[in-house]
Amino acid sequence: MRIYMQLPAIENKAPRYYHLLMQRDLLNGWTVVREWGRQGAGGRVKSEHFDTQEAAQTALLRVRDTQLKKGYRVVFVQGATAPCE
């Protein structure tokens, strides 16, 4: 599953983005990768390992919900098995 969100530009600053990616890893688990920052600039990346797909999806959706509360809007969703808004 992949979710790309964006926070609209404020004044003269570039818009902010938040990218979430859930993928199977080589250790028979799942990894959730989060990347965020300003559009057009280097961002920050954090990844977390989960033993099950359900745990990874729950974590991904929790982060998504937190960012939606901060004003981010979903721009792109790929491979969703649950509603994104």
Averaged pLDDT score across all residues of the chain = 91
Counting the structural domains of the chain, the total is 1
**CATH code where residue 61 lies:** 2.20.140.10
Q: Cα–Cα distance between 53 and 68 in angstroms, integer?
A: 22
Mean pLDDT of 40-47: 92
Inside any domain, residue 85: no
Inside any domain, residue 84: no
Inside any domain, residue 13: yes
Residues in Cβ contact with 4 at an 8 Å cutoff, skipping those fewer than 6 apart:
17, 18, 19, 20, 74, 75, 76, 77
pLDDT tens for each residue of 4-39:
999 988 888 889 999 999 999 998 899 999 999 999
Inside any domain, residue 22: yes
Structural domain including 55 reads 2-78
Would you state the structure tokens that stand for residue 77, as one six-digit string?
């969703």
Q: Cα–Cα distance between 20 and 12 in angstroms, integer?
A: 26
Tell me: pLDDT of 83 over 90. Answer: no
